[in-house]
Amino acid sequence: MASMRVHELAKEFDMSSKELLDRIRDMKIAAKSHASVLADADVETIRKNIEPEIRARAGALAAEEEAALKKEQEEAARAKAEEEAARRAAVEAELAEREAARARRESAKAEEEAAAPAPRKAPQAPSAFASLEQQIAAEKERVEREREEARARARAEKAAAEVAKKRAVEEALRQGHKKHSKAAAPAPEAPKAPAPAPAARPKNNFDSLLSQIEAEKQRMEAQQAAAAEAKKAARGAGGKRGKKGGAHQVVPELEMQAATGDDRYAQMAVQAEKLQRDKVLAEARAAVEAANTHEGEGRRKKRKEKREAEARERAELEAIERGLDPTLVLDDSVVEIPQGATVAKFAELLGVQPNEVIKRLFMLGQVLTLTQSMNDETMELIADDMGRKVRVVSPEEEYAVVYNDSEDDLKPRPPVVTVMGHVDHGKTSLLDAIRHTGVVASEAGGITQHIGASVVNIDGRQITFIDTPGHEAFTAMRARGAQVTDVIVLVVAADDGVMPQTIEAINHAKAAEVPIVVAVNKIDKPGANPDRVRQELTEYGVIPEEWGGSNMFVEVSAKKNLHIDDLLETILLQADVLELKANPDAEASGFVIEANLDKGRGPVATVLIQRGTLHTGDVVVAGTSYGRVRALVNPRGEHVSEAKPADPVEILGLNSVPTAGDEFRVFEDERDARKLAEERALRARLAAQETKSHMSLDDLFSRIEEGKQTDLNLIVKADVQGSIEALRDAFEKMDQSEVRINIVHSAVGGITETDVTLAAASDAIIIGFNVRPTGKSRQQAEKEKVDIRLYRVIYQAIEDINAARVGLLSPDIVEEDTGIAEVRETFKVPKVGTIAGCYIVEGEINRDDKVRIVRDGTVIFEGVMASLRRFKDDVKTVKQGYECGIGIEKFQDLKVGDTIEGYQVKEVERTE
């Protein structure tokens, strides 16, 4: 039996992971989270202790279901009895109303017969008008009364139809499918003969209504005939005077009623017939539907319940994996509010008027407009005051996607290894020994400046390495490496022991719950003591296996290539224990390890695939960047067509440079990808606009002495995104009680004129890491008096800013630029190397100057000149406007268009 994780066992017992963890801890079994792996013996122990309780709970649930079913049947019977009583009451009320209406019609008819001779007597004109007015009033009253009766009959007929429909469905359910099909066969022919109604009661209602209409028509015809005779008699008796007499004038209301009465009652008859036909059709359709759907109703209901249960279980599992409370996620009444939402957005999501939110904010002492953001505590307070439940969602959680793959789709994948340790303990040298590449030679100061990835194959198996820097300034990058890694190789020098960055790496690994393999390096050096390293690591919870712990130790020497194979075998052994799996057949997703802007290829992002397979042509979204993958490049520089789980590749085709650490995933539709990326970019711009800008570094110390709280604004430009994040993280760790450090702008690439303009407008200084000013940006900076600080080793930048922050700007060694030469041609000289034919565009180049080679705004080499000549003569200096030949010592990769900058190192006294 394979070992199980806690959430898998909880699923088997139909329990939540939190509840099962509590029970496991009561049994004294070690388990930290829902993803902890349980041994076979522990699984058996848990099953023996919990299965009796599960059976008892299942019996109790069955009893509860039976009681609920019985209660539901009783309520149905009671509702049926109430409906029957209501139907009887409606029938009795209808009969009573019908008798009253008949009595009223008879009395009205008697009154009309008694008043009929009155119009024939000419002298009684006032009584004739009074009779007409009474008839009009009586007719209006009768019409209103008939409307009320029609409404009452409609309500009674509707209630009776509902009862008849339910009875028909119940009868159909009892008689079975065969009888239903026979009974329902004539139902579709009902529209052809709507006159014969299926029930006796609706037919009586219809006949009574038609008889009333016919009687009313006869009465109106009699009235019209009587009026015509009276008019004719008046003309014969009175002649012309009868035409002018008041007794025989035409009454407009009566004439209109007589003219439109037949049409109105005909319309009433048509409406009544249509209503009756619609009722017959509705009842026939209901009976046919009940007969046809009864057979599969139970199965569909079970399938629907099963789907709902699976959806709830999936949502609960996703909530647990994201570290959320499942009860809040499954509660439909809880509204999810994005972090930093504006007042208008908050009111829209809650479905309330913005004025209500602003009023409560004013009562809390916060005066905000509709477009201003609210903090998390304020949103929770206002929602609680309104009686609503909210959950504030962070941007990472809002855009995070949780994938649930079935066990059948999962296949083994290679491990991803991160190398951590203290500065100069040999991390990069160890990787160099493993993959046989010279990484250290190109790194400034012997420190790895940004994350890279490589792939190593051993015995037909693949291992992916992520080289994470060891300096404390790269804490954020190291943490990001731990979140995508499976195994951590902790490098500790045998002659140095545990150092601060070593402890920091251990803390990151424990926080991410990633196993640690310790590589004790430099065992070939004099004074190496591996046992002392083991003893020191035990104080931080890293205990060797031979001492009863769970961490594997390997003694290696990166310089002399000792025991490297043993380290790789140990990594594979640790990966076998973890049983790493992934679904290679899904849409690709993973993380961006590094990103930079290449002049020839555009934005380039190094990504690590975690799930699925990435192909060329896929549409991807990485943070605020999106695009279609134009090419995939593996760590060896080869173009490939696809990348599988645990493969690091460079992708080309994004519209912008993503941020290192962003999650990327593949979209089927490019419009959806563009929409998501643009929404993220909009949020990033809104957040950047809230950044405050106040002052520069020049008067920083004087402001501190005055006791004022000041802000230090910075514009950071670097060669890769990871260096920007490292600087940002280091600045945030500084004490900001007296000075707030604000990064106004940060981007990848050289320092441009736009950066200088922004720095002048915001009183900021420009920090350039491994980049140079481009174009006329240096002259513009001198004109605008903008301070540009350039660095190649990151901790020098941190120390410089920290010294300025606390007012400890001591005299320092600085670089003074002497001149700039542009390479216009290159010459190959035997036994000498490459000579650059240059033109001095600025300043003066001296033979003893130190030089740096700048290509596309990025420093690619620093060194000294091997030769400086004009024509065939060696010279000591060449001024602006002249041509010369320059040879660079230990550097031959000179190209047309490169810039050679000369500078001298001088000691300058700080005055701030």
548-573, pLDDT tens digit by residue? 888 899 999 888 888 888 888 899 99
Coil, helix or strand at residue 745: strand
Closest CA to 619 of 629, 608, 610: 629
* Burial profile 186-222: b = 16 or more Cβ within 10 angstroms, e = fewer: ebeebeeeeeebbeebbeebbeebeebbeebeebbee
Of the candidate ranges 61-75, 474-488, 731-745, 787-801, the one whose mean pLDDT is the lowest: 474-488
d(CA 727, CA 741): 11
pLDDT computed for residue 380 by the predictor: 87
Model confidence at 728, in pLDDT bands (50, 70, 90)? confident
d(CA 628, CA 639): 16
User: What pTM value is reported for the model?
Assistant: 0.45
Model confidence at 219, in pLDDT bands (50, 70, 90)? confident
pLDDT computed for residue 194 by the predictor: 42
Model confidence at 183, in pLDDT bands (50, 70, 90)? very low
Model confidence at 846, in pLDDT bands (50, 70, 90)? very high
Rank 161-170, 304-313, 640-649 by mean pLDDT and report only the highest.
640-649
Percentage of residues in the chain having pLDDT higher than 70: 73
Residue 193 has pLDDT above 50, yes or no: no
pLDDT computed for residue 17 by the predictor: 82
Q: Which has more pLDDT, 236 or 193?
A: 236
Model confidence at 331, in pLDDT bands (50, 70, 90)? low
Of the candidate ranges 623-637, 747-761, 892-906, the one whose mean pLDDT is the lowest: 747-761
Model confidence at 651, in pLDDT bands (50, 70, 90)? very high
Closest CA to 102 of 149, 135, 140, 144: 149
CA dihedral (36, 38, 42, 47) positive or negative = positive
Model confidence at 900, in pLDDT bands (50, 70, 90)? very high
Of the candidate ranges 148-162, 243-257, 345-359, 621-635, the one whose mean pLDDT is the lowest: 243-257
Residue 507 has pLDDT above 50, yes or no: yes
d(CA 66, CA 69): 5
d(CA 225, CA 215): 16
pLDDT computed for residue 244 by the predictor: 40
Model confidence at 402, in pLDDT bands (50, 70, 90)? low
Of the candidate ranges 420-434, 547-561, 816-830, the one whose mean pLDDT is the lowest: 420-434
Compute the average pLDDT of residues 289-302.
Answer: 58
Residue 852 has pLDDT above 70, yes or no: yes
pLDDT computed for residue 287 by the predictor: 64
pLDDT computed for residue 822 by the predictor: 94
DSSP per-residue codes, 88-135? HHHHHHHHHHHHHHHHHHHHHHHHHHHHTTGGG-GGGHHHHHHHHHHH
Model confidence at 175, in pLDDT bands (50, 70, 90)? low
Q: Give residue for tokens 């509204």.
A: 335
Which tokens sit at 657? Answer: 């440079």
The answer for 396, left when phi > 0, alpha when psi is -120 to 50, beta otherwise, is: alpha
At 664-678, the pLDDT tens digits run: 889 888 888 888 888
Of the candidate ranges 327-341, 479-493, 815-829, the one whose mean pLDDT is the lowest: 327-341
Of the candidate ranges 31-40, 159-168, 808-817, the one whose mean pLDDT is the lowest: 808-817
d(CA 423, CA 524): 19
pLDDT computed for residue 263 by the predictor: 56
Q: Is the CB of residue 908 less than 8 Å from the CB of residue 863?
A: no
Which tokens sit at 550? Answer: 């769970």
d(CA 554, CA 551): 10
Q: Which has more pLDDT, 91 or 487?
A: 487
pLDDT computed for residue 618 by the predictor: 92
Coil, helix or strand at residue 69: helix
Which tokens sit at 281? Answer: 């059709």
pLDDT computed for residue 630 by the predictor: 93
Of the candidate ranges 505-514, 558-567, 869-878, the one whose mean pLDDT is the lowest: 505-514
pLDDT computed for residue 276 by the predictor: 72
Of the candidate ranges 256-270, 308-322, 576-590, the one whose mean pLDDT is the lowest: 256-270
Percentage of residues in the chain having pLDDT higher than 90: 12
Compute the average pLDDT of residues 763-772.
Answer: 87
pLDDT computed for residue 165 by the predictor: 72
Residue 215 has pLDDT above 60, yes or no: yes
Residues β-bridged to residue 453: 466
Of the candidate ranges 190-204, 207-221, 710-724, the one whose mean pLDDT is the lowest: 190-204
Rank 51-60, 194-203, 325-334, 626-635 by mean pLDDT and report only the highest.
626-635
Q: What share of residues in the chain are helix, strand, coil (percent, to 5)?
A: 50, 25, 25
Q: Is the CB of residue 470 less than 8 Å from the CB of residue 420?
A: yes
What count of other Cβ atoms lies within 10 Å of the Cβ of residue 125?
15
Compute the average pLDDT of residues 725-754.
Answer: 81
Task: Tally DSSP H helices, then E strands, for the chain.
Answer: 24, 33
User: What residues have CB less than 8 Å from 730, skipping those under 6 apart?
Assistant: 472, 473, 475, 794, 798
Model confidence at 638, in pLDDT bands (50, 70, 90)? confident
d(CA 312, CA 305): 11
Query: Residue 402 gets which letter from DSSP?
Result: -
Residue 595: Cβ-neighbour burial (10 angstroms; 0-12, 13-18, 19+): buried
pLDDT computed for residue 266 by the predictor: 64
Compute the average pLDDT of residues 755-773.
Answer: 85
d(CA 385, CA 364): 11
At 338-351, the pLDDT tens digits run: 877 888 888 988 88
Q: Which has more pLDDT, 280 or 494?
A: 494
Residue 188 has pLDDT above 50, yes or no: no
Compute the average pLDDT of residues 152-174.
Answer: 73
Question: How far is CA 902 from each of CA 718, 753, 853, rounded to the nearest angstrom?
Answer: 21, 22, 9
Residue 839: Cβ-neighbour burial (10 angstroms; 0-12, 13-18, 19+): middle
